[in-house]
Every structure is written in structure tokens, then in C-alpha cells.
Amino acid sequence: MPLLQTRPIRDLHSLLEPLVALSALSANVRADFAAVFDHEGDSYRVPRIVFTGPAAAHEPDPIRLGLFGGLHGDEPASVLALIAFLERLADEPARATGYELVVYPLCNPVGYARDTRHNGAGLDLNRQFWRGSEQPEVVALERELSFNRFHGLITLHADDTAEGIYGYTHGHVLNEALLEPALRSASYIIPRDRRANIDGFLARHGKIESCYQGVLAAPSGQRPRPFDLIFETPARDPLERQVEAAVTALDTILDEYRVFLAYAQNL
């Protein structure tokens, strides 16, 4: 599969084939599934790809991050960006030095196959988390979030009302400290959305503090709290530019979090 897609691939086997190939070719990649479930007579899978970067000399244990895409099935850029990101890491593993990245590029496979925002039950999965949902995708991802206790979460989305890139910080200082350089670097590809109101929320320089209830997040009892970022691309922009902007943002967040940890250790 070419690194940057100009059209989304709706056939799930063809979409995921590069990830299967990566796991066979790279010792850094392990691919399996967080969930397998049936819907209307067809079998669907939520893929889970673990990319283990080279060990950092000063860190005995890797930094574990969870990366999520495709929660809304009509946002192909979020899926393709994570696949492209994994392909680049396989070519240059040093970019993930010190990290273990657990990547869920296709959280809503039924919605993706049908090109719909909602899952097979007609629900917006990104309003269902930690609300007692019985949807198989949500149950599986909540289990992953509880088990892995990630140091950080990054969720990719694409907004068809956006006028540029933007993101959610949930009002936390570290989130803003990581999102700002990500927006700055990605803005060389797609300018940031600088409106005062984005997606129904007050915004400042493309950053929103508030958020919807029920979005994908760490369990409420997890301590310490992980950083938690949502990065949005404008869905009406060319797909290849959305993918490139998201991949650039991911690279920047990894670099900036390394800097933050190094600084914190020296305090």
C-alpha cells in the first residue's frame, strides 16, 4: 500500500494487509486483534498492533502509549494516518526509541466498511466509554485501557466542519504543552483552525479545553493520569494532506514527551 492514500480503502482485508506484512517483516511489530465479533452474519475485527522501539539508554522500561483511530467509520484519515505512521516506524525504528506503542487503527470496523460515523448498532462509539456500554468495540477497548494503564493516549479524528487542524486538551497543562508543538509542526501542512468556536466549544489557537462526555479515555481511577490528546484534521481537505499532518503531529508528540520526561527527571 502506498504511504499516502488519495482514496480510502473500504475492503477491510486490503486495508489491514500492510500491517500483517509489517508484523512478518519487522521484529519491532506484533499484530493481533483486541476484539473479534459478529454483526449481521459477518465477522469483524478490531486490530491491535504493538510497535516496540529500541530501548532508551536511560529508561529501563518503555513508555507505553495507546494510539486510536477509526472510532468514527467515516473518518478514513484517522485510520490511514496510523497505518502510515507504523510503516514509517518500521523503516526507521529509532523514531520510537524508548516507546512501546499500542496502536488501534480501526476501532469501528463496521462503520468503516459502511462509511458511516456510527457502529453497526447505530451508536456513536465515542460517546459510550465508561457508561456501561455492551457494544463489543467499547467493551474491548475499555479492557485494553484498563489492562495497559497507558502513560499517554492519542486519538485521531477528522471533522467535516473544521477549517483547519485543532485538538482537545481536556483542560490539562501537560496536554496543552504537548498539543501546541504538534499543531505548530502540522500547520506547515494544514493551517490550524483559529476560530473562537470549534465543534460547539470555545477554542483558543486551535485548542479546546472542554469535551463531550463518554469519549475514549483512561479509567477514572487510573493514577497517575496519562496525558490524553485528541488531534483533529479537516475532513474536507485532501486525504493525503490529512494523513501527513496527523503523522507529523504524532512524531512531534513523541519527541516532546521525551523532552518532558527528561526535564522532569532533572527537577
Pairing of strands 197-198, 207-208: unpaired
Residue 216 lies in a domain: yes
List the grid coordinates of 159.
471533522
Residue 244 lies in a domain: yes
pLDDT digits (tens, 9 = 90+) for 108-144: 999 999 999 999 999 999 999 999 999 999 999 999 9
Q: Is the pLDDT of residue 3 over 50?
A: no
* Amino acid 216: pLDDT: 98
175 Cβ contact partners less than 8 Å away, ≥ 6 residues apart: 169, 227, 228, 229
* Amino acid 13: pLDDT: 82
pTM here? 0.95
Overall number of domains in the chain: 1
* Amino acid 24: pLDDT: 87
Task: Give the CATH number of the domain where residue 238 resides.
Answer: 3.40.630.10
pLDDT-derived band at 57 (thresholds 50, 70, 90) equals: confident
Residue 223 lies in a domain: yes
pLDDT digits (tens, 9 = 90+) for 18-55: 888 888 888 999 999 999 999 999 999 999 999 999 99
Residue 102 lies in a domain: yes
Residue 176 lies in a domain: yes
What is the domain extent for residue 239? 17-265
Residue 9 lies in a domain: no
Residue 5 lies in a domain: no
Instruction: Look at residue 58 and give its three-state secondary structure.
Output: coil
Residue 8 lies in a domain: no
Element (H, E) at 186: helix 173-186
d(CA 185, CA 165): 11
